[in-house]
Structure 1
């Protein structure tokens, strides 16, 4: 199954020739493509084993797999056609339909893809995610150690050398975190990653750290304690130039800034140094230039910026805790799908380093458990309705959340597909935020330094799962808050459902076609939902598909597009249009409507999935000459207008007007027979469906 899914992913992404490079993080495959317009997003979204597909700026694309991403990555890279992909030798393959109306893509489109440099910036930050696996592992070790100590199973560190060793395992992750981030960030910017790692490591050597010993370096090094930050700042002179000294262990901002500067220097040097000696002199000059810049300028600036960001949020937490505790869980549901949550995660690590504790993770845990509670509600409904596919999806997502603190499987597998979930889940976020705000004010946390802080704090970076509850100060406050957010979200989903009437009707149809149990509408369901479900239950099986536009019908082999000709998108026909109006070839729900008006995906009540692709490469016209008459999730009848097209303008732009139509789930049917070589009017039969 995994190998088959791997092949299907590559086919849907545009073929191996469309892949420049492929990497993966904790949950996602990250593609850099020759042309993102060749991606069949609808096929990816409906593919088993895929939780979601997320377009990025330029020609980058993410496919969300979940916890099995590493295995999927290996399966893909072992495909024969993927040989040489790392070298970036992909060739342009044929065009595939790209669906911009996908729910998650539309969510991202509100922010991402419009300002390319901003999109690239946040993509750069989020691409540090290959280290999330070790962070997750370390956070679980922290939680288990704290739990064992708190209940007296193991003695304190002073009397237990074994505990010292175990602590070293997780402390090593955070101490050397800057080197890991420098490696990943440099690799992202196409710089030798070992070079980035070595420059950051130079600032963490015992010799460099020893410069902060003002007793040893009397008259050279001076140290001053900051009353505001509670940290000690030291300075010395190197080559007669003042240098601020800092402890860079556990820092995130400095290696990110350093890698960005390194990329400029590294690529600049490659332009002026002859190829024959680049292997020696590019690293040599990069280490000297960027190493000095980091020690004298980038490092101190990064530390200062991170410290003051933490102080600013700490001020908000101390002076307006209600706003802070509610704001964080209400923002996270929108930050995570957009990939904008990593800067806050980086700030958590900075807080721990500079302040000795973090106060963001508590409210963040409220959002996480509201998310998991919504997933639990979906699981309850799927068990009640005997929906096998959704039961498997929600059970896996819930396990990843409660045990690992990972929200992506829930978000991409369920929540962003069924937007009603967000309305229920945000209530849970708000309720949990209010509870943590009130209890955190009444029962302040006490940090390791004895400082009283409003709200819930922790002195370790921990993914907010059931296993990491013991790492929080005022553990009971945190536990009550996340329990409230979890229960409220779950109960609201169970009471109000997570689907629209149309989505429930679609699930009913899918259950019928699969031979599984059909769910029944609740007694208090709206009349429209009952009517829709009734109509679905008595739906006539689709036996034919009409022409979406008047014109001459040709075989896919003669339509002019190699991907459609390969039948990768199912059997179908091409129509050379003689009219400007494109209509719905069948009755059903519009699952996808491209913003550019060039592609439409319909699904009938009995499960036939039809793709209408107007012209070839017309996505590049960006909607010019296309006047769309429908929207995604709208129910249409056969013959309803989808789009009116100025085909003369399409021809003037140099693109083919041939309109392609296929049955996407041909493989699940006994057969699809096209009628070609004839002239038809819109709505006349051009495809026969055999069950």
Structure 2
């Protein structure tokens, strides 16, 4: 039997258009990153409806990011094992396409530039995370007086020399890693891309002299630079390599390209990087770093407030990677960085929002949000990774940014007041605070950011009134279902056929009839993503011509809103139904609605539930379109709406098909 991870992976691959629609697939700390042949065939609603999927984000013209959280590698590994993927599938198609097509005509230059930076740094993320925690260990050892973090290696105990080698290996040889990943992104040979900056780190090259010296190379003066830990020189060299390889392939016969393309590429690009591209890259990095250093010197407050307020908008678009490059550049050239401290304010304001959501989810017994928020909080507090929180919570609900930004501001002001600097490149988590100076001011700043955003969520919620009402209605329905299951003496074995409710019997097809007169519309046309995406379940929408919602079948009232805009029922057939009268009509606070039933009341088909004034709804500026949703959609094989230009009470509007015998859940 397939695992849940395998089932979810197959579902994702199916909804992005199948293996034939995937040009390439990679992943980062939290996201599956697809490059697709035709993105228009993607079913975003189906992807969003999967509880394992935290979010779906389009990038460029063919890119699609599917946010999975910390277990993303498991889903990636499962997808590449599917037919048509792996070595004979997407990866080889991607390589062939990029080898000859490169960046030409695929994205506008701005989109591609940022994607190039993002896709270059992503593969190195794990090594950077590991190195950052080793640095933290050594900084802690320095704090306790066990060793001097910045002392010369000749004065360090041998054990600490080895520990320093562990993190320095990542940063010293970072240009080689960047050279490889940048070349691969562009479609050039990644090993040649790695060899170019590696040549500038060899003992032979270093023996020419110290940084700043000028040496004679066949009569041409060469100014030496220190290329260790640099990121811009290998990036620029990879771009140069792409064009050199492309030109060489046009003039060198295919039969001998494997020998002579890398030969001439190295012969051209290593001197070009040493003489021209490398110094130019160092100049770019120094220029950006100097500007931010100047701004920090003018007022740490300005920079410390701007950085955390920018990050919530940069990270969803992947535009934060250039700042990461500058942080590494600062450490290499200045010995410290002034961006990471303020960035911590954004991270912990984000984690504060999620902590507030976790608190509310426990209070409401909301299992889904409890799982999402707990996972995001753990990844954030201990790994410094914000994407699970961002896509799992912040980008899904209306009021989260109103709770997030005040925390960013408060934390940024405090961190700016203390002029916090980072002594090493680390990911801003609870474990890495010793790398900040002064770390007491930093802790005060991130604690204030965390507490501000968390308390705003706890006291004012993270959802609009309509979002909260729908969530609570769904929770009530689930709770009733669990109560019914418990009272019926559930066992771990499948029940007898006559104990299963009619709609849940294997292969059963059940219809739901219209609860109000009107026109039946596809749910996807509803102007509310909570319904149109299918997040609350599948069904239909009715643009009403009548003024009374009635019970479509015998059942029990699970919940009815005091405002009268929504009612939830459990039909005797086993279908849980939500009828939501109008869009955003919760804001009318009951005006124009008359509730005719109460919670837990038994009703029969045709029993009036709610009377409403459609014209008054429209006069108030809201749509009267009424979604009719099967809340427990996941218990069925299919739930399909039946659109029609006109339906009357009692007409069929939804067809519900039960699952097969082997997948039927116990009740």
TM-score (structure 2 length as normaliser) = 0.74
| 1: CA distance, partners of 2:25 / 2:118 | 16
Which of 277, 280, 294 is the aligned partner of 1:298? 277
Aligned residue for 2:337, secondary structure, equals coil
Shift of the 546–312 alpha-carbon distance from structure 1 to 2, 3 Å rule, reads: same
Q: CA deviation at 1:601?
A: 4.2
Residue of structure 2 equivalent to 1:118? 110
Does the 8 Å contact 1:546/1:585 carry over to 2?
A: no
Q: Deviations over 1:345-379 (max 9, x none)?
A: 00011111111111111111111111111111111
Q: CA deviation at 1:667?
A: 5.0
> Residue 13 of structure 2 is aligned with which of 10, 15, 29?
10
| Residue aligned with 1:53, SS | strand
CA separation of 1:259/1:132 partners in 2, compared to 1, >3 Å: closer, same or farther? same
Deviations 1:190-232 (A, max 9, x none): 111001001110111111122224xxxxxxxxxxxxxxxxxx6
More deviation, 666-675/483-492: 666-675
Match of 1:175 in 2: 172
Deviation at residue 237 of structure 1 after TM alignment: 2.4
3-state DSSP of counterpart to 1:464: coil
Match of 2:131 among 123, 138, 141: 138
Mapped to 1, the partners of 2:521 and 2:129 lie a distance apart of 51
Structure 2 match to 1:452:
none
Structure-2 separation of matches of 1:673 and 1:51: 24
1:211 maps to what in 2? 208
Match of 2:538 in 1: 608
SS at match of 2:529: strand
Q: Which residue of 1 aligns with 2:635?
A: 668
SS at match of 2:213: strand
How does 1:578-589 map onto structure 2 within 5 Å? 583=521
Shift of 1:680: 6.0
Q: Paired residue for 2:421, among 435, 442, 457?
A: 457
- Alpha-carbon separation, structure 2, partners of 1:86 and 1:325: 43
Given that 1:31 and 1:60 are in contact with CA atoms closer than 8 Å, whether structure 2 keeps it comes out as yes
Length, aligned pairs only: 534
The 3-state SS of whatever aligns with 1:498 is coil
Tell me by how many angstroms 1:687 deviates: 3.1
Distance in 2, Cα, partners of 1:354 & 1:150: 23
Show the 5 A alignment for 1:443-454.
none
Q: Which among 256, 259, 266 is matched to residue 280 of structure 1? A: 259
Instruction: Give the CA deviation at 1:672.
Output: 4.7
Deviation readout 1:161-199 (Å, 9 max, x if unpaired): 111101100110000001001111111111110010011
TM-superposed deviation, 1:494 = 0.6
Segments of structure 2 that go 5 or more residues without pairing to the other structure are 95-104, 483-509, 543-581, 587-611, 616-627, 659-667
Inter-partner Cα distance in structure 1 for 2:140 and 2:288: 31
Alignment of 1:87-126 (within 5 A): 87-88=91-92, 116-126=108-118
**Residue aligning to 1:259:** 238
Task: Give yes or no for the alignment of 1:245 onto 2:209.
Answer: no
The answer (yes or no) to whether the contact 1:53–1:61 under 8 Å persists in 2 is: yes
Report the secondary structure of 2:212's partner residue: strand
**Is the CA contact (8 Å cut-off) linking 1:546 and 1:685 kept in structure 2?**
no
- In 1, distance between residues paired with 2:244 and 2:613? 60
- Counterpart of 1:86 in structure 2 is 90
- 2-structure distance, mates of 1:668, 1:33: 31
Give distance in 1, aligned partners of 2:641 and 2:407: 51
Q: Distance in 2 between matches of 1:587 and 1:508?
A: 24
Instruction: Write the distance in 1 (CA, Å) between the matches of 2:254 and 2:43.
Output: 40
Work out which of the residue numbers 70, 73, 80 in structure 2 matches 1:67. 70
Matches within 5 A, 1:399-418: 399-418=378-397
8 Å CA contact retained: 1:588, 1:603: no
The Cα shift of 1:80 comes to: 3.2
Contact 2:342 2:415 in 1 (8 A): yes
In the TM superposition, residue 58 of structure 1 has moved relative to its aligned partner by 2.1
Which stretch shows the higher mean deviation, 299-308 or 145-154?
Answer: 145-154
Alignment partner of 1:590 is 2:569: no
The 3 A distance-change label for structure 1 pair 489 and 542 is farther
Tell me the distance in 2 between the aligned counterparts of 1:672 and 1:327: 48
Which residues of 2 match residues 279-358 of structure 1 at below 5 A? 279-358=258-337
- 1:481 has 2:460 as partner: no
Query: Closer, same or farther in 2 for the Cα pair 1:313/1:585, shift >3 Å?
Result: closer
- Check 1:357–1:62 CA distance in 2 against 1; reply closer, same or farther (3 A cut): same
Residue 196 of structure 2, aligned match among 195, 199, 202: 199
Structure 1 distance, partners of 2:431, 2:212, is 36
- How far residue 89 of structure 1 moved from its aligned partner, in angstroms, is 5.1
Quote how far apart the aligned CAs of 1:549 are: 11
SS in 2 for 1:179: helix
C-alpha offsets along residues 214-256 of structure 1, whole Å, 9 cap, x if unaligned? xxxxxxxxxxxxxxxxxx6332221222222111111111111
Q: Distance in 1 between matches of 2:541 and 2:140?
A: 55
In the alignment, is the contact (CA less than 8 A) between 1:144 and 1:467 conserved in 2?
no
Q: Distance in 2 between matches of 1:234 and 1:517?
A: 77
Structure 2 distance, partners of 1:516, 1:178, is 58
Structure 1 Cα separation of the partners of residues 523 and 162 of structure 2: 67
How has the CA–CA distance of structure 1 residues 247 and 256 changed in structure 2, closer, same or farther, with 3 Å as cutoff? Answer: same
**Distance of aligned partners of 1:257 and 1:511 in 2 relative to their CA distance in 1, 3 Å threshold:** same
Closer, same or farther: CA 482–467 of 1 in aligned 2, 3 Å: same
CA distances 1:448-477 after superposition (whole Å, capped 9, x unpaired): xxxxxxx11122100001110001111111
Cα shift at 1:611: 9.6
Distance in 2, matches of 1:131 and 1:279, equals 27
Q: Give the drift of 1:273.
A: 1.4
- CA shift for structure 1 position 321: 1.6
Change (3 A) 1:587 1:333: closer
Question: How many angstroms apart in 1 are the aligned matches of 2:583 and 2:139?
Answer: 49
Distance change in 2, residues 1:249/1:496 (3 Å): same
* Matched residue SS, 1:543: strand
Q: Does 1:687 align with 2:625?
A: no
Tell me, yes or no, if the aligned pair for 2:327 and 2:339 is still in contact at 8 Å: yes
Q: Say if 1:20 and 1:32, in contact at 8 Å, map to a contact too.
A: yes
TM-score (norm 1): 0.71
- Paired residue for 1:147? 140
- Structure 2 residue aligned with 1:471, among 412, 435, 439? 435
2:396 is paired with a residue whose SS is coil
Q: 1:543: how far off?
A: 2.2
Give 1:104's aligned residue. none
CA drift of 1:21 comes to 1.8
- Give 1:381 shift: 0.7
Task: Kindly report the root-mean-square deviation, in angstroms, between the aligned alpha carbons of the 2 structures.
Answer: 3.4
CA contact (8 A) 1:418 1:498 kept: yes
